[in-house]
Amino acid sequence: MTFGHKNVIVTGGLGFIGSNLAIRLVELGARVTIVDSMVEGCGSNPYNIAPIADRVEVLECSIGDTAQLTAVLRSCDLVFNLAGEVSHSHSMLFPERDLEINTLAQLRFVQACAEHNPGVRILYAGTRQVYGVPAYLPVDEKHPVNPVDFNGVHKYAATQYHLMLSRTGHVDAVVIRLTNVYGPRMAINIPCQGFLSTFVRMSLTKQRLDIFGHGQQLRDPAYIDDVVAAMILVAAEPKLRSRSYNVGGPEALSLAEIARESAWAAGAPDPVFREFPADRKAIDIGSYHTDSGLIANQLGWNPQIRYAEGFARTLAYYEKAMPQYLNPNDPNPACNLLHCTKSKLAPPEPVAR
């Protein structure tokens, strides 16, 4: 597959998933423009694109600030829209911030795409969190939508903006709903970004992992290279038979299994079980794993990297690049957002991940 001479936008391209995607696109020959607002708390890190820094253009602005994006939107062939807040905990603490980031900015952006580049293909990165507590497993695209936190509500609204404007012919949008993604370039220095980034950080610093509850809740971690491959495959398909695809990992593992595998691989102490904090318990979805059959059947994508291999690759990356992601003297960084007042968050800037 080649993207030779195609002009591609990656929103949130300094974040975890976006940077890995941008690197792969450059390898495939694309001319990549990264749009990232670099707002604190969402994982933007210029070091993430070090391998391609001299081959991409970076626009430091919000996707909601569409006046700054007119020229690049008019000239692009393809948009990967990964901008947004991913933290479920942050969304419950600061719901209006999440609303601004994950809905209003998205609405402005997709409308600008429709205005300046009618019919452009947009791949929007959604989340399995929109499904809420699973009614059945594995979860397919027909599962009811019933989110348990503001992040899921707002991400679902953004999904519908893309799909509605696609149905009316204004853009050519497709949504993939991601499970827990992990791998190199995760923001391991930012709390509340999901349990996998916490597991990576604590394993690297040889700390004991905490498992909340009984630890038998299932997850299907997806390694970043598999996710990037799925994104590129979906975005490049000229005639899509579906507009939403679930993208999950190759195996359903319990949280206890994931924690033990992580600790053993890093030489960290064995995990311990702890009582669920009340705020986390309120938005816990129990077990989840993905039915990726639709994308497998229609496009031939299947995840390849099992957790043991993917976690080993992840550790190897951070062992070389640790100073770019985490201060070894501060292995348990605090969430700066928790110390913000409403006045500091209002009006919040839309953010890229």
Task: Quote the pLDDT of residue 49.
Answer: 98
With 80 as the cut, is the pLDDT of residue 191 above it?
no
Q: pTM of the predicted model, to two decimals?
A: 0.93
Q: Note the pLDDT tens digit of each residue in 225-252.
A: 999 999 999 999 999 999 999 999 999 9
Task: Quote the pLDDT of residue 336.
Answer: 63
Tokens of 126: 């959604």
How, if at all, do strands 210-212 and 172-178 pair? unpaired
Cβ-in-10-Å burial (0-12, 13-18, 19+) of 215 comes to middle
Task: Quote the pLDDT of residue 347.
Answer: 37
* CA gap 130, 144 in Å, rounded: 9
The residue whose two tokens read 């994508």 is: 301
What domains appear along the chain, each with residue ranges and CATH number? 7-345 (3.40.50.720)
Q: Note the pLDDT tens digit of each residue in 244-299.
A: 999 999 999 999 999 999 999 999 999 999 888 887 777 789 999 999 999 999 99
Average pLDDT for the chain: 92
Q: Note the pLDDT tens digit of each residue in 133-173.
A: 999 999 999 999 999 999 999 999 999 999 999 999 999 99
Q: Note the pLDDT tens digit of each residue in 32-76.
A: 999 999 987 778 999 999 999 999 999 999 999 999 999 999 999
Task: Quote the pLDDT of residue 337.
Answer: 60
Residue 345: which region, alpha, beta or left (left: phi > 0; alpha: psi -120 to 50)? Answer: alpha
Question: Which of these, 92, 110, 111, 196, lies nearest to 154 by C-alpha position?
Answer: 92
Task: Quote the pLDDT of residue 258.
Answer: 97
